[in-house]
Structure 1
Amino acid sequence: MAARVAGDQVWLTILEASRRSGLSEPTLRYYEQIGLIGPVPRDPSSGHRRYDAAAMDVLDSLGCLRSAGLRVEDLRRYLDLLARGDAAAAEQRELFDHHADRLEAEIERLTLRLEYLRLKARLWDARDRGDTAAAQGLIPRLVGLIERF
């Protein structure tokens, strides 16, 4: 089904809302069930969910935040703070700073793992070529990385 127009309003199906927001259809249903998003209007003839522009603005934000690693409880907090507007600006900043710090630490861990795998590949390449000196030279670097895990 395609988006429907009623008056000036465009209504999206759950499939279209899912594709646009990056959130799966079950996730959209779940977010409605737990009250993260308000009740979604239904098409009177089919009973299917129809998402309007306001709902899509919220879902687009939630999709971005979810892809950045925020958990459902953090999404709920974000929406609660958003409803308070600028009065909650400091709390919003803290919420995003906290998650940015967490994401930065995760990136550092992933970078370390990536470096380890690249060194292991170089080690086995050196062994494949019979270059014992190169292989032996990589071992201290690998051990150093392992100690940082």
Structure 2
Amino acid sequence: MRRVRHESAEGFARGDRLILSAEPFDVHVSSVTATRVFIEWPWREIDGESKNRWDGTVGFSRDPDHWDWRNTPWRVEPDPSELSAGETCMLGIPPTEVQVVAIDQYDPPADFGWTPRPTWVLGVCPVSDLSDEEAGYVLYLNSGEPIVIDPA
């Protein structure tokens, strides 16, 4: 897999300011550990032809004050520290202003263990965290995740 950096593509350019959001969805808590809560991710499928193993879940910190929360736009309700395996919770993205810091293309599409396999990736950082080199996250544009991306 080759990762190619672009200055602009798919209607986005580095430096663009965007507003991300996603209506809350009810999702299932697959498992919990002392530090993480694992959510069954409804927008991806396990790729049976992948060389990589993905179990169908995405993990989030159980500590709502953990720095890890600056590396995802998603928010979980109720508080992740209160959740147990088998419960249902809400997962969504409150309106968040971000800046595009990278645009990458995987050629061929990336094999991470799920489908659809990502082709285009936006690296974004919340505007409030732009001075933090560790903050930010990627958005897989063909992921099927119900993320609304609007110009700021």
Question: TM-score higher than 0.5 here?
Answer: no
TM-score, length of structure 1 as denominator length: 0.19
TM-score, length of structure 2 as denominator length: 0.19
- Structure with bigger gyration radius: 1
Determine which structure has the larger helix proportion and give its number: 1
